Structure 1
Amino acid sequence: MKNWFKNIGPGPLVAAAFIGPGTVTVCTLAGVNFGYALLWAMVLSVFATIVLQEMAARLGIIAQKGLSQVIREEVKSPVLRGFSVVLVLSAIVVGNAAYEAGNISGGALGLETLLGHPTVSVFNVELSVVPWVLGLLAFILLYLGTYKVLEKVLVGLVILMSLAFLSTAILTKPDVISILKNMLLPQFPDEGILTIVALIGTTVVPYNLFLHASLAKTKWNNKSDIKLARKDTVLAVVLGGIVSMSIIISAAAINIKEVGNAADLALALEPLFGVNAKYFLSVGLFAAGITSAITAPLAAAYVASGCLGWQTDLKSKRFRAVWIFILGLGVVFSSVGFKSIEIIKFAQVANGLLLPVIAGFLLWVMNKTSVLGVYKNSKFQNFLGLIILVITILLGLKVILSVFNLI
C-alpha cells in the first residue's frame, strides 16, 4: 500500500481536473434530457482519454519536455513554427478562458445556493459578487504558490461528492441491462449532438494533455517508469469515467425537464440526502470549481511558456501574467450576467471542438524518432489515435453544421 501511494502520479490530478463543475452539469443535463442514451459517449470519452493521456505522459517521461516545448522545437520551418505556436496558443487561451468561466460559474453555483446571489452595480452594469470572491481566492492561492495544500483538501471534497453520486446511482435502482446496452450501442437522439460533444469535451480536456506531459516529467525521469505512468493513468481515468456515468444515471431519475441552477442539480442527490442535498452539492460544486479554476490557468501558463521558450517558474512575471489573464477572463465572463449553465455548456463544446487540433499535434509528435526514439507510437497506438482523431473531427464538423442550420 505504501509503494502504491508513493507511485501515484499526475493521473488523479488529471481526473480531478476533468471532474469539475462542467462534468457535474453536462452529465446531469445528459441524464435529465436523454436518460441513459448517451452513456456510450462517456465510454468513448474514457477510452479516448486513456489513449491520449498515456501518450502525453510517455512524451513527458522520455523527452523530459512539455508538449508545447516539443512542438516549438520540432517544427523546423519558421513559417510553420510560427503558425503552429499561434494555433496552439489560441486554442488553449480560447479553450481555457471558456473552461475557466465554467469553473468559476460552477463554483459560484455552489456558493450562491448557500449565500444567495449578491450583486453590485458598476457603470450601470450588474455584476455578480460571488465569481469575484472565487477569482480572488484562486488568485491568492496561485500567487502565493500554496495551492497544492488546498488542492488536496478540495480533491477530497470532490471525492466525497463522487461517492455520493455512486451511492445515488445505486439507490435509484437503475435498469442494469439498459445501462449496458446504452454503453455499447451509440445513439444520436434529436438535439443531442451538442451534448455528445460536450460530454467528450468535459472528459478529454485539451489542456490536460499539456498539463500531463509537464507533470509526468517532474514526477518520473526513468524510462522504466512508463509502466507506472500507464497504471496511474488508466486507474484514475476509469474511476473518473465511472463517476461521470453515475451522475448521468442519477440524473436520469430526476422528474424535471429543465436544469437551471444548483438547486435543480441537487435533485439528483435527494434520494440519498433528502432536503440537505443542495448543501452537500454546494460544497462539492465549490470544491470542483475552485480546484479546476486553479488548474486551468496553470496549464495555460505552462503551454505559453513552452511555446514561447519562457521559464516555467511559478514565480516568474511572464508565467504569472498568463494565468492572471486566463483567471481574469473567467471571472469577468462568469460575473456579467451570462447564465451559468450556458457558460458551462459552451466551455465543454469549445473543448470538444478544440480537441482535434491538439490531438493532431500530439499524434504528430508521438511519431518523431528524434524525440522519443524506440518509445514512439506503435502502429496499434497510431491506429487508436487516428480513430479518436477522426471521430472528434466528424463530431466537430457536425456541431459546426448544426450551429449554422445546415443539417
Structure 2
Amino acid sequence: MKVKHRIKNIGPGALVAAAFIGPGTVTVCIVTGVAYGFTLIWAMVLSIIATIVLQEMAVRLGLVYGKGLAEAVRSEITSKTVRVVALLLILSAILIGNAAYEAGNITGGMLGVETLLSKSTLSIAAMEFNFLSVLIGAIAFILLFIGNYKIIERSLVALVVLMSLSFIITAFLTQPNWMEVLKGMFVLTIPKEGVLAIIALVGTTVVPYNLFLHAALVNEKWKGKENLKAAKTDLYFSVVLGGLVSIAIIVCAASIGSSEINNAADLAQSLEPLFGGFAKYFLSLGLFAAGITSAITAPLATAYVARGCFNWDAGLQSKKFRAVWMLVLLTGVLFSSVGFKPIEVIHFAQVANGILLPVIAGFLLWAVNKKTVLGPFKNTAAQNVLGFLIVLVAVVLGLRSLAKVFFDI
C-alpha cells in the first residue's frame, strides 16, 4: 500500500526532471562523455545537489506561501520601480529564452525518430519542411490544450519513465568499467580545458524556469504545508532519477570514445554496429522522450510565469494561459520544421539566461528568507549557506555565458 501511495505522489518532481533532461542536456552529456570520459561525472552529481537545494525552496514557496516566485516578487517588493523592472526581466528572459530553445526541444525529439527513419522531410512549393516537427508539436499541443493537470502529469511521468529506462539500459549495454564510473562520480578532477564542460553540465541542469514551474505544479497537485513531506519525497526521487539518466548518457558516450560524435543521433548510429540494433532503438526512444517532455514543460512554465507576473486569475484552460504557451510552442515548431536557425534570437536567449540564473536564484533566496512569505518555514542557516554558494556559482556561470557570447572566450 505504501509503494502504491508513493507512486501516486510522483508528479511535479518528474515534470521538473523532464524539463532539465532536454536535448540540450543530452548533447552536453554526450560531448562531455566523448571528450573527457567518466572524469566529469562529479560535476553532474554536484549539479543535481544544487538542483535539489533550489527546487526544495520552490516547493516550500508553492505549498506554504500558496503562490509562485513571480507572485512573491510582485507582492513583496515594495518599490514600484524595482518591482516592475524585476517582473519585466523575469518575463522577457523566460518568454524569449524558452521560445528560442523550444525549437531545440522539438528538433531533439525529431532527431530521435529520424534515427529510425530514412526520410522525414516533405517538399511543398519549393520549400522543404520536416513533418516530424509538426507531429511532435501536435502531441505537445494536444496535451497542453486539454488543460487537465492530471493528464499532463501522467503523460510526462510515462515519458520520463520511458526516457529513464532507455538511457539507463543503453548505458548497461555499453558495458563500461563501473569502477571508473564510480571514481568519476566521487573524485573531483578538472582536466585541461575541462572548465567549459563543467559550466555546461551545471548550466544545463540547474534550469531557471523550473523554479517557477515547480512552485506552480505543487499547487496543482497538493494544497497546504501539510503536503510538504510528499512533495519533497517526489522531488528527491525524481531529480535523483534525472541525474542518473544524465550520468547514463555520459557513460554511453564515454564507452564509445569516438571524436566524431556530436549529438545523440550520431551516438545512436555509432552504437548499432558495436552493441546491436537494440542499443540504437533504446537511445532513439530516449532522445524522443527527452525532446517531447521539454517541448511540453517549456511552454507550460512560460505560461505560469506570465500568470504570476500579470496577476492573472487564470487556470490551465483559460484563453490568456493558452495564448502564452501557444506562442512558445508554435515558434518552436516553425523554427524546427523549416530548419531555420535563429542565431540572433538564440544569442539573446544565451545572454538572458546568463543574467537570469543568478537573478532568479537570488530572488528565490530572498523570498524564502522572509517571515511574511514562509513564516516558521523560512530557510535555516544551513540552507542559506548552500543557497548562497549556488548563487555564487550561478554568477560565475552567468559571467562566463556572457563572455562566451560577446567575446567568444
TM-score in terms of structure 2 length: 0.88
The offset of 1:63, in angstroms, is 0.6
1:110 aligns with 2:112: yes
Q: What is the CA–CA distance in structure 2 between the aligned matches of 1:171 and 1:151, rounded to whole Å?
A: 30
Divergent runs of 4+, >6 A: 343-350
Q: What is the CA–CA distance in structure 1 between the aligned matches of 2:327 and 2:268, rounded to whole Å?
A: 32
Q: 1:263 to 1:94 in 2, by over 3 A?
A: same
Which of 221, 224, 237 in structure 2 is aligned with 1:222?
A: 224
Farther off after superposition, 39-48 or 200-209 = 200-209
Which of 13, 28, 31 in structure 1 is aligned with 2:30?
A: 28
Q: 1:187 to 1:222 in 2, by over 3 A?
A: same
Give runs of aligned pairs for residues 141-220 of structure 1, distance below 5 A.
141-145=143-147, 149=151, 152-153=154-155, 155-189=157-191, 192-220=194-222
The offset of 1:152, in angstroms, is 3.1
Farther off after superposition, 143-152 or 313-322 = 143-152
Which of 366, 379, 395 in structure 2 is aligned with 1:377?
A: 379
**Corresponding residue for 1:48?**
50
Which of 249, 266, 269 in structure 1 is aligned with 2:268?
A: 266
List gaps (5 residues or longer) in structure 2: none
**Corresponding residue for 1:77?**
79
Structure 1 letter corresponding to 2:234: D
Q: What is the CA–CA distance in structure 2 between the aligned matches of 1:255 and 1:346, rounded to whole Å?
A: 33
Alignment coverage as a number of residue pairs: 404
Contact 1:297/1:323 (8 A) holds in 2: yes
Q: What is the CA–CA distance in structure 2 between the aligned matches of 1:62 and 1:218, rounded to whole Å?
A: 13
Tell me the alpha carbon deviations over residues 181-201 of structure 1, each in whole angstroms, 9 at most, x when there is no partner.
Answer: 433444444554443333223
Measured on the aligned residues, the alpha-carbon RMSD in Å equals: 3.0
Contact 1:33/1:257 (8 A) holds in 2: yes
**Corresponding residue for 1:364?**
366
Structure 1 letter corresponding to 2:403: L
Structure 2 letter corresponding to 1:241: G
Q: 1:211 to 1:263 in 2, by over 3 A?
A: closer
1:7 aligns with 2:9: yes
Structure 1 letter corresponding to 2:399: L
Tell me the alpha carbon deviations over residues 52-75 of structure 1, each in whole angstroms, 9 at most, x when there is no partner.
Answer: 000000011101111111111111
Farther off after superposition, 205-214 or 311-320 = 311-320
Contact 1:102/1:344 (8 A) holds in 2: no
TM-score in terms of structure 1 length: 0.88
Which of 273, 296, 299 in structure 1 is aligned with 2:298?
A: 296
Tell me the alpha carbon deviations over residues 8-59 of structure 1, each in whole angstroms, 9 at most, x when there is no partner.
Answer: 3421221222223333222112111221232122011101000000000001
Tell me the alpha carbon deviations over residues 194-232 of structure 1, each in whole angstroms, 9 at most, x when there is no partner.
Answer: 433332233222111111111112333332322222222
Farther off after superposition, 240-249 or 95-104 = 95-104
Give runs of aligned pairs for residues 115-154 of structure 1, distance below 5 A.
115=117, 116-120=119-123, 126-145=128-147, 149=151, 152-153=154-155
